[in-house]
Structures are given as structure tokens and as C-alpha cells.
Structure 1
Amino acid sequence: MKTLKIVFILFVLTSAGCISWVFAKSPFNDMPEGQYQLDLSHASIVWKVSHLGLSNYVARFADFDASINFDPNDISKSSVTATINPLSVQTAYPNADQKDFDKVLATDKSWFNGNKFTSITFTSRSIDMKSDKTGEMVGDLTFLGVTKPVTLNVIFNGAMQRQPFSGKPTMGFSANTTITRSEWGMSKYAPSIGDQVEVMIEGEFFKAD
């Protein structure tokens, strides 16, 4: 019986060691150079806006993509591009599908006007590393046909030479920014519906083959 207990303990310790090894993280500058593609199963773009100053209304986009051209020798020389389908907006409005609430928000000329402006795009211009784990990314946001600069606050969550499920080099980030929607021409109901929109982004990027 004691022998079985010892074997079981050794098995647990060995397994724990393997798990620790598999999930080991790497410094970002040790990651391979090149193109990284967004893992759409581990990504989100969520935004929130004040409603009458009483609550924050939260919604998301369901259809988007992004990529990173990564330079490990000088991360500031890396670049990011992203595209969002405005017709993919999703809210938590009760019975949104039955009432066409999301569809109106996506297509109405006073809102996302997605039938005319079929994409929202972001192209980075600079990345300023503030620490090993944080940075500021400045880029051009094109929305409703208007292009203006925005600054994203980026957190570098971690990187793996070999992500245990995909087997590929993978990096993970969180980012947020706040835009003034009227600057892009979306001013309907402001300020009752807030002019300031907070955008929250999560994403994992894997090394493209």
C-alpha cells in the first residue's frame, strides 16, 4: 500500500513538472520574427458607452481579424493591422433579433452605416514600449469614412514558443482605448448616449506558417 502511495505521489509530481514545462512562457524578444495571425477563437472586441449617465451599455463585434508583423529585435518596429465588420455588431438588447435592434444599429445611417462603410480598419504607425509588459500603440482608425489617429494602451500578457494546443509560437495581448464617436461623424443622441466610447480588446496571435 505504501509503495502504491509513493508511486502515485511521484506520478503527480512528474505530471506537474510536465505541465509546468508545457505552459512555460518566453520573453517577447525570444519569439520568432515574422507574421502572426489572430486566433479568432481567443479574441474579442467589446465596447461600452454611457446611457444617460446611469449605466454603461456594452456590446461587441463578432466578425473581425488582425495580424502582427513582429520584429523581436526592436518591438517598436513591429506593426499591426486590424479589420472589423460593422454589420457584426451584437448587443444584449432583449429579443434583439426579433426587433431588428442589432440590424438597425449596424445599418442605420446615423449609427454604423455598415451597408455603405463595410469595414472599420486600424493600421498602427508606432509602438512605444513603456516597460517590458506595457506599451502605447498609435495608429490610424478609419470609421464611417473618416480616418483619425487613436492611441491604444497595450498589455503584453505573455508568449509561448509552443502553445500547448496548437503547437505554434503564440503571443497574447490586452488593449484598450477611448474614442470620441462624434469625431468620426456618429453624434446621434449625444450626450444622452455618451460621446466617449471605451473599446476593450483581447487577442492571441499565432505564428503564420
Structure 2
Amino acid sequence: MNYLKITAFTIVLSLAGCISWVFAKSPFNDMPEGEYVVDLSHASIVWKVSHLGLSNYVARFADFDASIEYDPSDITKSKVTAKINPMSIQTAYPDPKKEDFDNTLATDESWFNAGKFASIDFISTSIKMTGEKTAVMNGDLTFLGVSKPVSLDVEFNGAMLRQPFSGKPTMGFSATTTIKRTEWGMGKYAPNIGDEVEVMIEGEFVKTDD
């Protein structure tokens, strides 16, 4: 009986060790150099803006693309680019008018004006590490035809040399920033609809095949 207990305990420890190894997070400096692209099934761009000072209205973009040119020898030399499709805006506006409301926000000349400006673009210009797993990333945001610098607070969530489901090197990040929409020419209903827009970004990035 004792032998069986010891054997079962040994098997459990072995399995736990295997699981721990598979899901172990690798240091970012150990990740291979090259291009990483966002995994849209594990990524989001959510923003919120004050509504009359009573609540924060929350929406998201469902269609976007982003990539990292990763330099593990000096992470600060890595480059990040992103493109957002403003037609992909999704709100929680109640049915049956939700589709019309989302489309109005996307296409109205006073809002995202997607018919004229079909993309919201970001290109990083610098990355400064502020801690072992935190950084400030500066870049240029082009929105409604206007380009202005923005700063994002970035958290390095984790990295795996072999993500257990895809089998590929994968890194995960969170980022936040706050912009003033009027600086890009979107002034409709400000300040009743808040000028400051808080943006929250989550993303996993997968190494492309060389």
C-alpha cells in the first residue's frame, strides 16, 4: 500500500513538473529576434470617455493589426507599428439601433470619418524601460489626418519560447494611454462628451516564420 502511495505521489510530481515546464515564462531577452505579429484572438483595443460626467462610456475596435520588430539584445531598439480600422467600432448601444449608432460613429464627419480617413495609425519612435517589466513607449498617432506624439505605459506580461497551443515564440503586453481627442480635430460635444479618452490595449504577439 505504501509502495502504491509513493508511486502515485511520484507520478503526480512528475506531471506537475511537466506542466510547469510547458507553461514556464521565458525572459524577454531570451526570445528570438525578428518580427512578431498580433494574435487577434488574444488582443483588444478598448477605450472609454466621460458622458456628462455621469459615467464612462466604453467601446472597442474589433479590427486592427500590429507588429513588433523585436531586438532582444536591446529591447529599447524594438519597433512597434499598428493600424486600426475605424469601421470596426463596437459599442454597447441597445438594440435595435446599435448597428446604426456604430455606423454613425464610424462614418460621420464629426466623429471617426472613416470614409475619408480609413485607418488610425501608430508608429513607435522610442522605448524607455522604467522597470524590469515596464516601459514607456513614445510614438506618433495619426488620426483624422493629424499626426501627434503620444506616450503609452507598457507592461511586459510574459514571454514563452514555445507557447503550448501554437508551439511558437509568443510575447504578451498590456498598454494604456490617455489622449485629448480635440487635439486631433474631434471636438463634437466636448466637453459634455469628455475630451480625454482613455485607451486600454491587450495583446499577444507571435513570432512569424522566417
Bucket of the pairwise TM-score, normalised by the shorter protein? over 0.9
Contact 2:158 2:173 (8 Å CA) reproduced: yes
Change in 2 beyond 3 A, CA 1:96/1:116: farther
Deviations 1:137-184 (A, max 9, x none): 000000001000000000001111111111111110000000000000
Change in 2 beyond 3 A, CA 1:160/1:95: same
Q: May I ask how many residue pairs the two structures share in their alignment?
A: 209
Change in 2 beyond 3 A, CA 1:186/1:40: same
For structure 1, the 5+ residue unaligned runs are: none
- Between the aligned partners of 2:189 and 2:206, the Cα distance in structure 1 is 40
Residue number in structure 2 paired with 1:27: 27
Report the Cα offset of residue 5 of structure 1. Answer: 4.1
- Between the aligned partners of 2:103 and 2:165, the Cα distance in structure 1 is 36
Give the % identical residues.
Answer: 74
Letter of the 2:116 counterpart? K
Q: Which moved more, 1:99-108 or 1:119-128?
A: 99-108
For structure 2, the 5+ residue unaligned runs are: none
Structure 1 stretches of 4+ with a deviation exceeding 3 A read: 1-8, 96-99
Residue number in structure 1 paired with 2:78: 78
Report the Cα offset of residue 203 of structure 1. Answer: 0.4
When normalised by structure 2's length, the TM-score is 0.96
RMSD over aligned Cα, in angstroms?
1.3
SS for the counterpart of 1:179 is strand
2:177 is the alignment partner of 1:177: yes
Residue number in structure 1 paired with 2:45: 45
Report the Cα offset of residue 55 of structure 1. Answer: 0.6
Report the Cα offset of residue 198 of structure 1. Answer: 0.2
2:167 is the alignment partner of 1:167: yes
Change in 2 beyond 3 A, CA 1:116/1:142: same
Contact 1:71 1:78 (8 Å CA) reproduced: yes
Letter of the 1:158 counterpart? G
